[in-house]
Amino acid sequence: MSPALLLLSYLIIPVVGFLLWIGYLGIIAHHTRQSPQSIWAFIKQYIAVLLQLGAFSPFAVIGGLVFIRVYLLLISSMSQLGLQCVLLIINAAVLSGIVWATTLLFFTVHGMFINDRNMIASAWDSIRLVQWNLMSTFGLLTSVILIYSALFRIWQLAGPDTWFALIAILGNAFIGTGLTVATFIYFRDRYQQWQDIRQLIMEELRSRQTHE
């Protein structure tokens, strides 16, 4: 394969994967919404989500590369100076920051599809929802990671030339979809519960202001 075709494949494959991933999540959200949605509305929503995430992706990639570069330079400097304690603190801080950011923003795409919100508003909704349901959210994400990791190790036991490999592929797809559906249902129900509580609080405040 020529270098040009190789470079083109490196560019096309991530784009196609990104399109399929957004469509996959959109289909799941379409079937877990409480309110019905027409096919045309789904297509428009898919395009809107795709454009927003597509526009944000280059900035996220560039920001990630810059962060990795700075982090590696900082780690290299600390290692050369022999500051092992500082190195441990930096590693712990970076790891904690990544975990917290991932957890707080985990439901951003969920909100974009289920609630028809733009990316910024959906990210804010995700942060607030996780704050209101911190322990249960950690429990859900931990369970998803443990289940998927355990099953992934089981599927790896299948030989590439056996029928079990086909079963492993289908099983991995089935379980992975089930876990993804669980996160969408969790977001849908917890978001509605949060909105109901918020509405009650607002009505109570208005009632107090009226009586005063």
| Two structure tokens written together for 192 | 């509605």
Helices in 36-133 by DSSP H: which ranges? 39-81, 84-104, 108-114, 119-132
pLDDT in tens, the chain (212 residues): 566 666 666 778 888 888 899 999 999 999 898 877 888 889 999 999 999 998 998 888 899 889 888 888 887 777 776 667 777 887 888 889 999 999 999 999 999 999 989 999 999 999 999 998 999 999 999 999 998 888 877 777 766 666 677 777 787 788 889 999 999 999 999 999 888 888 888 887 777 777 66
Q: Is 35 exposed, middle or buried (0-12, 13-18, 19+ CB in 10 A)?
A: exposed
pLDDT of residue 152: 77
CA distance 104 to 207: 33
CA distance 149 to 142: 10
The residues, any chain, with a CB within 8 Å of residue 50's CB and separated by 6 or more, are 19, 22
pLDDT of residue 118: 92
Residue type, 74: L
pLDDT of residue 143: 93
